[in-house]
Amino acid sequence: MKVKKLLSLFLAGTMMVGCLAGCGSDAGSGNEAAGTETEASSDSAGSKESSDSGSKESSGEKVPLTALISKHSLTKDLGEMEWLNRLEDEIGVEIEWQQISADWDQKKSVMFAGGDIPDMLFKATVTTDFATYNGLFENLTPYIDGGDMPNVAKMFEDHPELRALSSDENGAIYGLPNYRSVWPRTNRVLYINKVWLDNLGLQIPTTMDELEEVMLAFRDGDPNGNGDTTDEIALDFNGFPSFLLGCFGVPLMNEADGYYVEDGTVKNFRVDERYKEFMIWLQKLYGEGLINEEVITQDYSKFQSVARGEGTTAKVGVSLGWESGDRFGTDLADQYVPLPALKPHADSNEEEVYWGYYKDNNSVNPATVAVSASCKNKTEAVHFIDAFYEEEMSLQVLFGGMNEVDNCIQDNGDGTYTVLPPADPSIDPGTWKWTNSFADYSPYYIPDDVKDRLTMGADMQRVNDERAQLEDTLDKMEEKCETYPSKFISYTTDENADLAMTHANITNIVDQTYAAWLTDSARDIEAEWDDYVKSVYDIGLEQNLEIRQTAYERYLSSLQ
């Protein structure tokens, strides 16, 4: 039986496994953080009985809590979110928010090591943190089983695999996952400017070689027609373009941190020969001036603004993105069309060309919220967090407020909901969502039956339409490839600790080498390859692959 079929049985709730050491990437939905760090406090009022602060609540005082959120650079100050202010009023808490929009990974290690953390942490933890910083976080199992978190308990009842995902080998739950019922199978699409093609009399490319020829024409031919042959960027992306790596034959079936499964073996593409071929190709493009020269250093805000050009004058020819309106803005979105997964060369085997497939990873994220073990008002904290998992509140967490102030989503009064267009018509729906909500990697539960009761916004409707070009490739991957169910694989505390210790070292080497190889055409990738691979294995990859292989096989055995 295919692993993907086994996973579907698992997701149906037939089996239970332990927690995983997953990573919340968001690769997925444009969740690259950039910006500045701010702090805000939200006013709230109300009363609720509490075992920790009953005297305060009985007198009508708001119970004080502190919270940290690692938020998207587009997300506005939390004090301006009416849905959040009303929730604090309803629960009877006053929360002092610490809002971080940049460099959280670096700040986190210092804060966690110091042991002084806020009462609640939103979008700020990964599962390995709970083993690395043992004793820092509150075990939420007693609150879930004791009736303090009924919405979370309902989610776990509906999807027992989510409880398994969140539990360590002793049954403790330190971080809560999210779940959204319907999301696309892939996070990114490759877009090309069709107007530029038409202006230069070019056809849509079908291979990577043809794409390179088109981009050379974009570089030199003034395709935006403004008389300036130097203001066009042929190719732009943010982070590592793993989706393009799939075109070189790497089966990225729910890949995580570069790890994937092929022929029953857990591998990492950063030491794969196909990655070497891909890097040689990327280095060539950069040396030819086809890739944005700031691709390594630009933050997400810069990446987005460049793609949105100047009015109706586009600046970028080819780019990876979630949805055309989000990527290029309302003025330019219609100029772009999605491409299928391209073969590297005309004589390449089409059956060995893939794309980034992330359906399971798109639906679930682990450890989206956690509570400090030192929190003085734990009951109020867990009540507040549990409210995020109620259906209507979950929709607001993901899409924005369901009220006359936020005006992001509408309750139709019959159990159905409609995501509203942006109140500001100059803002595209994707940006509007990220501005007004906690968005994707947040605590919420969107049950399966909401699929038939929710009318998505124009952006999500376009998302599905624009992925039509990739459907054949994704169908082929479902049939042929083995998924790497990273979010559902169990690790022991010791395994988690070992993985966490070496992950940063591996990341440092592969990221620094990637940047150097890409931007310096004098670097001979072929000549440096063997030493590079050895250094990655020696710094910890060999150990990590062994741990992940053991855990993967343990997971498969649990399904039998």
Tens-digit pLDDT profile for residues 342-356: 999 999 988 889 999
Q: What is the mean pLDDT of residues 173-194?
A: 93
Q: What is the pLDDT of residue 560?
A: 64
Q: What are phi and psi of 134, to 5 degrees?
A: -60, 130
How many percent of the chain have pLDDT more than 90?
73
Which range, of 17-31, 128-142, 177-191, 438-452, averages the lowest pLDDT? Answer: 17-31
pTM of this prediction exceeds 0.75: no
HEC states along 5-66?
HHHHHHHHHHCCCCCCCCCCCCHHHCCCCCCCCEEEEECCCCCCCCCCCHHHHHCCCCEEEE
- Predicted confidence at residue 17, as pLDDT, reads 34
DSSP lists the bridge partners of residue 66 as 96
pLDDT for res 120: 98
Beta bridge partners of 445: 179
% of the chain exceeding 70 in pLDDT:
89
Asked if 332 and 309 count as a contact pair (C-beta separation under 8 A), the reply is yes
Residue 548 sits at the vertex; the CA angle it makes with 473 and 156, to the nearest 5 degrees, is: 80
**Mean pLDDT score, 373-397:** 98
Q: What is the pLDDT of residue 500?
A: 84
Residues in the chain: 560
Give the tokens for residue 119.
């009462």
Contact criterion met (CB below 8 Å) for 360 and 173: no
Residues 303-310 have a mean pLDDT of 95
Q: Dihedral sign, CA of 42, 46, 52, 54?
A: positive
The mean predicted confidence, pLDDT, of the chain is 88
Q: Which of 22-26, 110-114, 167-171, 418-422 shows the lowest mean pLDDT across its residues?
A: 22-26
Mean pLDDT, to the nearest integer, of 119-140? Answer: 93
**Of 487 and 335, the one with more pLDDT:** 335
Contact 232, 222 (CB under 8 A): yes
What is d(CA 455, CA 409) in angstroms, rounded to the nearest whole number? Answer: 10
Own/partner long-range contacts of 144-151 (Cβ < 8 Å, ≥24 apart): 144/173, 148/379, 148/382, 148/383, 148/386, 149/382, 149/383, 149/385, 149/386, 149/389, 150/386, 151/386, 151/387, 151/388, 151/389, 151/390, 151/445
**Residue 30: which of 516, 460, 395 has the closest Cα?**
460
- Which residues neighbour 11 within 8 Å (Cβ) at sequence distance 6 or greater? 159, 161, 360
* Correct CATH for 18-182+364-455 of 3.40.50.2000, 3.40.190.10, 3.40.605.10, 3.40.630.10: 3.40.190.10
Where residue 172 falls (left for φ over 0; alpha for ψ -120 to 50; beta otherwise) is: beta
Q: Is the pLDDT of residue 366 over 50?
A: yes
| Phi, psi angle pair for 392, to nearest 5° | -65, -40
Domains 18-182+364-455 and 189-359+465-480 are alike in CATH topology: yes
CA distance 469 to 457: 21
pLDDT reported for residue 59 = 52
Query: What DSSP assignment string belongs to 234-290?
Result: EEE-SS--HHHHHTTT---BS-BTTEEEETTEEEEGGGSHHHHHHHHHHHHHHHTT-
230 and 293 Cβ atoms separated by less than 8 Å: no
Task: Give pLDDT, residue 6.
Answer: 40
pLDDT confidence band for 55 (50 / 70 / 90): very low
The pLDDT value given to residue 458: 86
Query: What confidence category does residue 27 fall into, taking pLDDT thresholds of 50, 70 and 90?
Result: very low
pLDDT (mean) for 511-517: 98
Rounded Cα distance between 309 and 415, Å, is 41
HSE-CB at 121 with a 13 A cutoff on CA atoms is: 26
478/474 Cα distance (integer angstroms): 6
Q: Is the pLDDT of residue 391 over 90?
A: yes
Residue 459 banded pLDDT, cuts 50, 70, 90: confident
- DSSP-derived secondary structure letter, 296: T
Q: State phi, psi for 470 to the nearest 5 degrees.
A: -100, -5
- Indicate the domain borders of the chain: 18-182+364-455, 189-359+465-480, 487-558
Give the CATH fold of the 189-359+465-480 domain: D-Maltodextrin-Binding Protein; domain 2 (3.40.190)
Per DSSP, the three-state class of 345 is coil
d(CA 78, CA 367): 21
pLDDT for 117 equals: 97
Instruction: State phi, psi for 176 to the nearest 5 degrees.
Output: -100, 140
* CB neighbour class for 147 (10 Å; exposed up to 12, middle 13-18, buried from 19): exposed
